[in-house]
Every structure is written in structure tokens, then in C-alpha cells.
Amino acid sequence: MGGYIIRRSLLAIPLLLIISFLTFVLNALSPMDPAEVVLHAQGVPRITDDLLAETRAALGMDQPFFIRYLNWLLSCLQLDFGNSYVTGKPVWSMLGPAFLNTLKLTVISVVAVIVLSIGLGIICALTEGRLVDKSIRGAAFFLTSMPSYLLAALLVWYFSVKLDWLPTNGLESIQSYILPVSVITISYAGIYFRIVRSAMLNHLNEDYVLYGRACGLPEGRITIRLLRNSLQVAVSVFFMAIPIILGSTVVIENLFAWPGLGMLSVKSILSRDFPIIQAYVLVLAAAFVVVNTFSDMINALINPKLREDF
Amino acid sequence: MSILQVSNLRIWDGITGEVLVPNSSFELKRESCLAIVGESGSGKSLTCRAIMKLNKKTIRQSGDILLNGVGLSQLAEDEMRRRRGKQLYMILQNGMRAFDPTSAIGVHIRDTLVRHYGWNRSEIVEKMKLAMQSVRLQDPVEIMNKYPHQLSGGMLQRVMISLAIVLEPDIIIADEPTSALDTVSKYEVMEQFVKLREKMGCAMIFVSHDLGAVRQLADEVLVMRNGSIVERGTASVLFSEAKHEYTRFLVSSHTELNEHFKRVIGGPAYVSR
Amino acid sequence: MKRLHYLFKDRLAFLSLFIITSTLLAGIFAPWIAPNDPEEVHMELRFASVSWDYLLGNDHLGRCVLSRLIYGIRPSVLWVLVTLAISVGIGAIIGFISGYFKGKMDAFLMRVCDIMLSFPGYVMTLAIIGVLGVGLENILLAFVLMKWAWFARIIRTSVMQYSDAEYVKFSKALGAGSFSIMRKHIVPVSLPDIAVTSSSAFSSMILQLSGFSFLGLGVQAPHAEWGMMLNEARQVMFSRPEIMLAPGITTILFVSAVNFFTDALQVALDPKLMSIAKKKHRKGIFQKANLSRKEVA
């Protein structure tokens, strides 16, 4: 197992390098001239060619491509992503806190999704075909055909406006978490619980359940065995869900004015603030790779047959 | 003198209403072996599971089942659970699937024995060691620490048999125990079944479509077809003077193959009674 | 093809198909069907409710909601379909080459796919929009760039499975050319898998595009698009919640129809699921959990 960990981790490094390179290339592809953007943002009234040239030099854009890439990469590793074109402040000072806020939302949502999915999955598998199962599946079908922001809007309208129980935006107190987390949880648990349910249903017909019962074992024990088998599939799916949820918080954050990466990224895109966009992509892609690596390792831990893959 | 009496057993599919077993009645005498033979889909496994009330929830049954005079049909689930394993024990067809793939076999064995007898770990190991050695499994402790996919089908069958030896049930129901095995393992496992009968003197219901195995082991035979019992009788009589044409058909197909095999090999292939 | 007959017998599946086709047709023939000009502003009719001229009322700028919905089909649904087709097309070509010829080509292509797949979809789409600018074309371009790798992987797996079949080996032994083998033997068999995957991807792409437009990153005003209509409705959500109804319900209805259809398609094309569905007598829609839908997110 230790060998697998090392080999899998090593695989992540070239991947991260490639990602950083592609991100850098992406930026270089943009049709906008960064010098212009900076000068516009600074409110300079007359933009002469000299001024443009000066700004470009200041931004270090006159050097060869590869040198620029290496410089950029080195400073990234020190968390220096340059300064925002718009505010002039260091990117990390804006990105860091936003990242933290997004993480808070994501982690809590992921935990809620996992708990709810497993819970609903078990309930539906054990009551298969009955009213409980059908109504949960019907409700889930309906709720996941909605765009998440519509669901969010409905919940906000009902809970914040009509009942005035919960705040509509910002990140002030524990209550601020409730609505955003609920929206994300409902949207994703609605999809994932079916996996748990289907896995459990498949296993309910397995011989080891029959044999366990034939030996007189109590139902509780058998359910635990069922869970252990069914959750194997679910674990890998849940780990994949983390980056997906991380990405899809974008819409939710904008709806709830949650001061996280979602809001920051959209604002930056609309104002063409490239350093922030670049850093955002890099940070999230890196997080993605890390989580994937981790999830592969967990999968190998649970299922020994996967360890020989490399 | 019957340890098990089944009267008017009726099994049907709760969803479609299709009747799978219209009306079965039979008896199992103490210390005797009853074989149930028939093609796939004749209702053999359904009947066995019905005795232990282990069919899927969508399958319904009615009728009386008396175990030692106690009616099982009306028993509550936890009463039934107490009897399962201790008085009624089942050996399944596919050893590889009978055990939980995510835990070592010892876990299941321990759970079962703790549940019925409350022994501690060392007692369990001691008793299982003896039992497993008597079914010719080397390194019992090693085996108990292994996962199901690390052992062969024949070994897993013998583990199930050794668990039976330790549990000492009144009735052992073996549902096609040798069907998933190759010939050599089949021979070894059948050997163990014969020994089991001699040693423990328990009653056995042996379900199989392998007539050779049945001839080795059974006292009485039930022939089932499409859910109904078409013939019953003692083993020796049945195979030589079958009355129902279906039985004769089964026997003749088997004998034909057997004779052919013997001719090709040039010697007795089976030790028959 | 016999299996598709089951699809038509199933009433809910048929209803879904009907909804989907009629929506697509309405989008194509929008100029002839829409009662009014979707972009014509009538400030005096702001927030007007249902009337004979304006069957679904007017929005915050007095424009006809129904016409906007109908014209909105084009970006929300039709263009997504085109994007899906392109994406699946590229993925299919790569998947087929990779899965059939295997060897070094396969290893190389799959490495490329892995790299593409290791980028979080949403993030990269945002990145591409950030670089190229907002607008419908850029979002759809981003979709194509991000999704082809996913389709390629799935199609490759399917092709690899089927190209191991005996009859393919026979054909090779008979000297049939690779392309004709692929065309005659492998494409028909893997088509169901591709169909189901595409169908489930369709609904998720619609929702994603809707989300991006909602954020203001997609279709720009004054063009009509369902997500954008919802965004505009959100501004007045507290005073006029009913404006959200029309685009909201339309989106839910259409996406539900696609999801229903995907489930039905999966049941119809997978013989195992079909026998379970038939046995239970009811329409097969709710019977089996559909796993592939969640993967496209």
C-alpha cells in the first residue's frame, strides 16, 4: 500500500505542472491586452503607445514566453500571484479569504450531502417499492430537474421573505449557512442517494445475505455487511463529488452574495481581471488534482485489488 | 418419528400472482436423508427457503411446517431467527458468494457461534479447528483469516460443513452444494457429506440435480417438476423401478451418460451403494 | 429495434418524447410561431398579466413573455443540442480510434483525455470565458472543449468491450477493412450506450448553460434565453415573484422530460432492466436508478 501511495503521488506532480502551463497559456491567449486593462482600471484618461509599452515592461511582458512562465510559476509557489489589475492589491490577499469562505461552504455541504445520500439511500433500499421509496424518488426527480438557483430562489422567497426566518445573503452567522447549504445538499443528495440505493438493492439479493440470515444472524449485523459492500461504490462517487460541488458553488455564492471564490471569479471575469482569473483556475485545478489523488488512494485502501494498477 | 412435517405448502409470487408451488406435502424422518431432485426451476430451492422462511418478501407462502412438532408458519421473526442456524442450517450452492466479500470468513463464523452459543474467541477457534481438520482443511486458523476470494469453492463448501459440525443442527438443508464445483472438489465434498451423516446423525435435505450424488447419500427421494412433487420413494427403488415417466426420463438420461463414461474410462467411476 | 417499440408503448416516455420534439420544433420555427417580437419593449405594459395579446403576460420591460420563451428555446435548447452533437462527435471519433486500435495510440489519447478530465469542468469553463469574454458562443465553445474528453472515455470503454467480440475477430480474419468493421459491427452495438450518455448529458448541459446565463456570463441582453429570463426575474423576485414562473416551469418541464426520456431509453435498450420492468407491470421509468446522469456535472 505504501508503494501505491508513493507512485500515485508522483503521478500528481507532472499533472500539476501541465495544468499550470496550460493555465498560463490560456492567459496568453486572451485577445485583450493586459496593459490596456490595467490602464483602463486605473482610470488613465489618455492611453498613449509609450504608456502601453511602459506598462507592459512593468508587467514583465517583454520577456520570452518560457521565462515568463517560469517566473510566474516560481512566484505562484510562493503564493505570489501578482497584483489584481483592478484593485492593485496582491491577488492572494483577495483570493485567500475567498477560498477559505468557499471551503467552509463546500466542506459543510459535502458532509451534509454524504449523510443525506446514505440515509435516503438506505431508507429507499429497505422500503423498496413502497410509498416512502416512491415519494422520495419522485421528489428527488423533481428537485433535480430544477436549476439549483431556481431552487435557491424559491427557498429564499419562502424562508426569508415570507417567514423572515433566515438571512438572504452574506456570511454573518450560523444561520447564513442554512439556506446555501440546504440548496446544495438537496440538489446533490437527490442525485447521489440513488447510487447508494441501487448498490444496496443489488446486494440485497446476494447470497451472503441469505446465508447470514440462514445462520440466524440478526438483521442489524446483516445490514452492516450490506452497507460495507454497497458503500464501496459510493465512496469513489462521493470523492468525485467534492470537486464538482466545489465548482458548482459558483452559482449559489452569487445568488446568496456569499463572499467566496464564486463571487470573486465572476466579478473578475466581468472586469477582465486576469491575474485573479489565472490564480483562481490554478488553485482550483490544483485542489482538484489533490482531491482526485486522495480519492484514488482511499479507493485502493478499501479495495485491495486496485493496488496493482500502477 | 418425523423431525419435519410439511403439509400443503403453497408458494406464489406476490406481485404477478403466479403460483410457483401449488401443493407440497412431505416428511423428513429423524436421522434420515431426503433428496429433492429435479431440473432447474422445478421449485426445489424455493421449497427449501420456504422451510426456513427465507424467500424474498415478494414471494408468499402458506401451509403448515412442523419442526419437532412446533409450527413454524405462525412463528414471529425473532423466534424463527433463533431456530435458524441452531436447528435449521443451510449450505448454499456457491461458497464464494455465501460469505461477505469484505470480511474474513472467521468474522461470519464468530458472529454465528457467538449468537447461538455465546462462546469466547478461544473456544470458537478450538472447536472450529477440530471441525475443520475433520473435513480435511489444513491450517484452520489461516483459513479463518482469509477473505472468500482467496479460497476455492470446494474449500468454502467444507468451511460451511465444518460450521455445521460445530453448530450441531437438527436439520441440514444442502441446496445443490456440489453444483458449482469441479469433479475433484465434488468428490471431496461428497465424501464429507457422507461422513457428516454418519458422524452427526442429523436429518438432511439434499437438493441436487446430480443423481449420482443423490444415490450416494439419500434414503428417500422426492422428484419435483414445475413446482409439484411427481414421485416419491426410497432411493434404491426409485432408480431401478421408477413409476412416473419423468423420473424414468431423469434416470435414463443420467444412466446413459454414466454408462457412456464408464465405457470410455473402462472402470467403475463412482462408488455406488 | 424491437426494443424501441417498448419505448413507444410506455406512455410517460412517449409524453416526454413528445414534449422534447415539440419544443425543438417550436424553437426551429420560432419566427412563425411566436405571437410577438421578443425584443420589443412596451414600457406601458410592464408586468402586465395574462391577456389575449400577450398570452403569458409581460416582463419588467413590457416584452411578451411567451415570445421570449419561444425564441429562448434556440439558445437554451437548440444550440445546446448542436454543441452536444459536436462534443459527442469529437468524443466518438477519438473513442472509436482509441478503443478499436488500442496500443500506443490508445495510451496517448487516453493520457490527453486524463489531463483534460483533471480540470474541474466549471472552473475551466469560467477560465475560458474569462479569457475569451462573455457570450453564448464562448460558453458553448467551452462546453465542447471540456466535454469531449468525457465522451471519448465512455465511448472508448464501450468500443473496447464490443471489439473483443468473436464476430469482429471473424471479420478481421476475413480481411474486412477497419472502417467497414467499425461501421457495420461496432457502431450499431455501441449506439445505445452513446444515446443514453448523450441524453443524460443533454439535461445537465441545459442546466449548466442556464446557470451561466443566470450569472450574466452567457447570452447577453436583449436576446432571450431561459436562464437570463430567470436572472431578470430574480431582480424583482420580492415584488413580483410570478415573473419567475414562466421560464422556471418551462425549464423544469423540459429538463424533466429529458430525464424521463433518458431513464426510459436506458430501460428500453438494456435487456436486463427491461425484463425487470416488464415483470413489475408498471411503466419502467421509476424502476432502476440511472447512474450516468450524475457524472456529467
| A215: chain B residues, CB-CB within 8 Å | 84-85, 89-90, 108, 111-112, 115, 163
Angle, in degrees to the nearest 10, between helices A219-256 and A148-155? 80
Which of C116, C117, C123 is the mutation pick for testing A, counting most A CBs within 10 A?
C123
Which superfamily is assigned to B2-269 in CATH? P-loop containing nucleotide triphosphate hydrolases (3.40.50.300)
Q: Which residue has the cell 470468513?
A: B105
Q: In this model, does residue A133 exceed pLDDT 50?
A: yes
Q: Mean pLDDT, to the nearest integer, of C148-169?
A: 80
Residue C76 in domain: yes
Task: Say what the pLDDT of residue C294 is.
Answer: 37
Q: Mean pLDDT, to the nearest integer, of A115-122?
A: 90
* B212 close to B270: Cβ distance less than 8 angstroms: yes
Q: In this model, does residue B203 exceed pLDDT 80?
A: yes
Which of C114, C122, C260 is the mutation pick for testing A, counting most A CBs within 10 A?
C122
The domain that holds C201 is classified in CATH as 1.10.3720.10
Task: Say what the pLDDT of residue C295 is.
Answer: 36
Q: In this model, does residue A258 exceed pLDDT 80?
A: yes
Residue C216 in domain: yes
Q: Which of C13, C253, C246, C111 is nearest to A14 (CA)?
A: C111
Within the 65-94 window of chain A, which residues sit less than 8 Å (CB to CB) from chain B? Answer: none
Q: Quick check: helix, strand or coil at residue C216?
A: coil
Tell whether B53 lies on the interface with A, counting CB pairs under 8 A.
no
Which cell is A202 given? Answer: 443489488
Q: Regarding predicted confidence, which is higher, C163 or A184?
A: A184
Give residue-wise pLDDT tens across range C212-222: 888 888 777 77
Q: How far is C1 from chain B (nearest CA, A)?
A: 27
Contacts of A25 (CB under 8 A, 6+ apart): none
Task: Say what the pLDDT of residue B266 is.
Answer: 65
Contacts of C213 (CB under 8 A, 6+ apart): C75, C76, C219, C225, C226, C227, C228, C231
Which of A106-110, B3-7, C161-165 has the least mean pLDDT? C161-165
| Side chain identity at residue B197, one-letter code | R
Q: Mean pLDDT, to the nearest integer, of C248-253?
A: 88
Cα–Cα distance, A47 to A38 (Å, whole number): 11
Angle at C149 between CA C144 and CA C151, to 5 degrees: 85
Q: Which of A160, A100, A267 is nearest to A169 (CA)?
A: A160
* C254 close to C26: Cβ distance less than 8 angstroms: no
Cα–Cα distance, C136 to C72 (Å, whole number): 12
Angle, in degrees to the nearest 10, between helices A131-144 and A174-204? 130
Residue C46 in domain: no
Query: In the complex, which subunits touch C with 3 or more CB pairs below 8 angstroms?
Result: A, B
Q: In this model, does residue C290 exceed pLDDT 60?
A: no
Q: What would you report as the CA-atom Rg of chain B, rounded to the nearest whole angstrom?
A: 19
Which of A104-113, B260-269, C228-237 has the least mean pLDDT? B260-269
Q: Which residue has the cell 505562484?
A: A76
| C133: chain A residues, CB-CB within 8 Å | 31-32, 272
Provide the number of structural domains found in chain C: 1
Q: How far is C44 from chain A (nearest CA, A)?
A: 27
Q: Mean pLDDT, to the nearest integer, of A50-74?
A: 72
Which cell is A91 given? Answer: 491577488
User: Would you place residue C276 in the very low, low, confident or very high pLDDT band (cuts 50, 70, 90)?
Assistant: low
Task: Say what the pLDDT of residue A34 is.
Answer: 66
Cα–Cα distance, B101 to A248 (Å, whole number): 36
Question: What value does the mean pLDDT of chain C take?
Answer: 77
Q: In this model, does residue B231 exceed pLDDT 70?
A: yes
* B133 close to B158: Cβ distance less than 8 angstroms: no
Cα–Cα distance, B37 to B43 (Å, whole number): 10
Give residue-wise pLDDT tens across range B53-92: 888 888 888 888 988 888 888 888 888 888 888 889 999 9
Identify the closest residue of chain A to B108 by CA–CA distance: A212
* A109 close to A181: Cβ distance less than 8 angstroms: yes
Contacts of C207 (CB under 8 A, 6+ apart): A147, A148, C251, C255
Task: Say what the pLDDT of residue A31 is.
Answer: 62
Residue C21 in domain: yes
Contact criterion met (CB < 8 Å) for B108 and A212:
yes
The secondary structure of residue A90, as a DSSP letter, is: B
Q: How many CB atoms lie within 10 A of CB C270?
A: 17
Give residue-wise pLDDT tens across range C126-157: 877 777 777 788 888 888 888 888 888 888 87
- Cross-chain CB nearest to A228 (options B49, B92, B102): B102
Q: Quick check: helix, strand or coil at residue A171?
A: coil
The secondary structure of residue A271, as a DSSP letter, is: T
Contact criterion met (CB < 8 Å) for A281 and C290:
no
Q: How far is B114 from chain A (nearest CA, A)?
A: 10
- The residue length of chain C stands at 297
Q: Provide the b/e sequence for A127-140 (b: ≥16 CB within 10 Å).
A: ebeeeebeebbeeb
Tell whether omega for the bond before C222 is within 30 degrees of 0, i.e. cis.
Answer: yes
- Cross-chain CB nearest to A216 (options B81, B94, B103): B81
Q: Regarding predicted confidence, which is higher, B268 or B1?
A: B1
Tell whether B265 lies on the interface with C, counting CB pairs under 8 A.
no
Give residue-wise pLDDT tens across range C87-138: 999 988 888 888 777 778 888 888 788 777 777 777 778 877 777 777 788 8
- The residue length of chain A stands at 310
DSSP string, B99-167: S-TTS-HHHHHHHHHHHHH---HHHHHHHHHHHHHHTT-S-HHHHHTS-GGGS-HHHHHHHHHHHHHHH
Type and span of the H or E element at C186 = none
Cα–Cα distance, B215 to B221 (Å, whole number): 9
Contacts of C221 (CB under 8 A, 6+ apart): C228
Residue C293 in domain: no
| C280: chain B residues, CB-CB within 8 Å | 15
Task: Say what the pLDDT of residue A97 is.
Answer: 86
Q: How many CB atoms lie within 10 A of CB B241?
A: 11
Q: Mean pLDDT, to the nearest integer, of C9-26?
A: 84
Within the 6-25 window of chain B, which residues sit less than 8 Å (CB to CB) from chain C? Answer: 15-16
Which cell is C272 given? Answer: 436486463
Percent of chain C clearing pLDDT 70 (strictly above): 87
| B15: chain C residues, CB-CB within 8 Å | 279-281
- The residue length of chain B stands at 273
Task: Say what the pLDDT of residue B230 is.
Answer: 84
CB-based burial label for A50 (10 Å; 0-12, 13-18, 19+): exposed
Contacts of C144 (CB under 8 A, 6+ apart): C83, C86, C87, C90
C-alpha count within 13 angstroms, C-beta hemisphere, residue C50: 5
Sheet arrangement for strand B2-13: B19-29, B2-13, B59-67, B70-71
Q: A207 to each of A210, B90, B186, B193, how far by Cα in Å? A: 5, 12, 20, 21
Cα–Cα distance, C57 to C55 (Å, whole number): 6
Q: How far is B260 from chain C (nearest CA, A)?
A: 33
Number of helical (H) and strand (E) elements in chain A, helices listed first: 12, 0
Type and span of the H or E element at C281 = none
Cα–Cα distance, A75 to A73 (Å, whole number): 5
Contacts of B85 (CB under 8 A, 6+ apart): A214, A215, A216, A217, B112, B115, B116, B167, B169
Pairing of the two strands B171-175 and B59-67: unpaired
Cα–Cα distance, A284 to A49 (Å, whole number): 36
* A256 close to A179: Cβ distance less than 8 angstroms: yes
Q: Mean pLDDT, to the nearest integer, of C58-83?
A: 84
Contacts of B258 (CB under 8 A, 6+ apart): B212, B269, B270
Identify the closest residue of chain B to A227 by CA–CA distance: B102
Cα–Cα distance, B10 to C85 (Å, whole number): 56
* B166 close to B125: Cβ distance less than 8 angstroms: no
- Cross-chain CB nearest to A150 (options C115, C128, C230): C230
Question: What value does the mean pLDDT of chain B take?
Answer: 84
Residue C20 in domain: yes
Query: In the complex, which subunits touch A with 3 or more CB pairs below 8 angstroms?
Result: B, C
User: Would you place residue C7 in the very low, low, confident or very high pLDDT band (cuts 50, 70, 90)?
Assistant: low
Which cell is B7 given? Answer: 403439509
Q: What are the residue ranges spanned by the domains of chain B?
A: 2-269
Task: Say what the pLDDT of residue C86 is.
Answer: 93
Q: Which of A155, A180, A162 is nearest to A170 (CA)?
A: A180
User: Would you place residue A30 in the very low, low, confident or very high pLDDT band (cuts 50, 70, 90)?
Assistant: low
Task: Say what the pLDDT of residue C35 is.
Answer: 79
Give residue-wise pLDDT tens across range C186-198: 777 778 778 888 8
Which cell is A205 given? Answer: 439479493
Q: Quick check: helix, strand or coil at residue A265?
A: helix
Q: C107 to each of A9, C98, C111, C154, how far by Cα in Å? A: 20, 8, 6, 15
| Side chain identity at residue C81, one-letter code | L
Cα–Cα distance, B77 to B72 (Å, whole number): 10
Helix, strand, coil share of chain B (percent; to 5): 45, 25, 30
